Amino acid sequence: MVTLKDIQQAQALLRKVAVRTPLVICKLPDGRQIFLKPENLQPIGSFKLRGAYNKIASLTPEQRSRGVVSHSSGNHAQGVAFAARALQVKATIVMPNTAPKVKMEATRALGAEIVLVGPASDDRIQKAEELEREKKLIPVPPYNDEKIIAGQGTMGLEILEDLLNPEVVLVPIGGGGLISGVATAIKESRIKAKIIGVEPEFAADAQASFRSGKIQSVSAESTAKTLADGLRSQSVGPINFEHIRKYVDDIITVKEHEIRQAMRHLLYSGRILAEPSGAVTTAAVLFHASELPPSDKTVAVVSGGNVEPQLFSEIVMGIV
C-alpha cells in the first residue's frame, strides 16, 4: 500500500516538474459553488505527468538505459513521453487506433515511439507486455503501480493545502490510479472528507467492483461507447482496487449527455477547457446531487483538457 510519506516524497520530486494547479471556484446554475482542480493546466494537459515522472525517476541508471514501455489511450502516453524526454530515456507507447488524434500527435511530438493496436484495453496491455519481454523494456503502467499512485496522490496534498477541511472530493475513475493516490493522501492526512469516484455509465466497472467487493470488468464494446476516452479501462488494477476499498466512500456513474453539458458549463462558467474524462466530476455535481453527501466544500478534479478540436466544437455547439 502507498503511504502518506510516499506521496510527500513524490511531491518534493515533482515540485519543479508539475504545475502546482490552483483550486478555482465555479458557480452552478442553482446557486451552489464548487472548487475545481484544473489539471488541464499541466504541460501535457492532464494529471498523468505526476505519476509518470515519479515512476521513471525511480528507475536505476541501468533500467533507464534499457528504455520504458507503456500502454495508454492518450494522456498517460503524453505523461510518459514528457517524463522520458526530461530524464533522457527512450519511450515506446502502445496506443489504441481509436485514440484521439490530438493525443497521438502530442505523444509523438514528445519523442516517443508509438505502436498502434485495436481499441480494447486488453489489446494494448498484451502488446506492451510482449514488447517488454522481447526488448527487455521497463514497464511504466498507467495506473496499477505504487509509484504511479504516489505521483497522482500529490494532487490530494495540494487540495488540502488550498482548502481547509474539504467535505467531498470527486475524482474520475479509469484504471484507478488517480483516485487511489488522491484518496490515500486525504484519508491518511486524517481529513474526514468523503472521496467519491465518478465514471461513465458505459464504463462502470469500478462501481461494480466497489459494490461487489471483487474486481469486475466491462466489455471493450461498452467502453467504446463513451466520449470519455481516458476512462475506457475495462477494469481497475488490483493495486488500485486495494486502495479504493480502503479509502473510497462511493462510486457513481454519469450519462453521456451529462458529460457534454458539464463540458459546456466548465467552459462558460469556469473558463476551463475540459475533455470528456475531465468533466465527469462536474457532471456528477450538476446531475447527481442526490447521490452525493451534502457539502459546502466540494472539490471536483478536472483531470485533463486534451480534446479533439472538432469534437469540442460540436459539443459546445450542441451538435453531439
Q: How many CB atoms lie within 10 A of CB 247?
A: 20
CA distance 223 to 168: 27
Amino acid identity for residue 84 in this structure: A
CA distance 11 to 189: 14
Name the helix (H) or strand (E) containing 34.
Answer: strand 33-38
Q: Supply the DSSP symbol for 171.
A: E
The DSSP bridge pattern shows strands 33-38 and 298-302 to be: parallel
Q: Which one is catalytic: 37, 48, 127, 187?
A: 48
303 is catalytic: yes
Q: Which grid coordinates belong to 81?
A: 513521453
Amino acid identity for residue 136 in this structure: K
Q: How many CB atoms lie within 10 A of CB 186?
A: 26
Q: Supply the DSSP symbol for 275.
A: -
Q: Which one is catalytic: 70, 235, 277, 303?
A: 303
Q: Which grid coordinates belong to 171?
A: 475524482
Alpha-carbon dihedral angle through residues 226, 151, 125, 306, given to the nearest 10 degrees? 40
CA distance 272 to 25: 11
Residue showing cell 504516489:
150
CA distance 117 to 140: 18
Residues with a known catalytic role = 48, 303
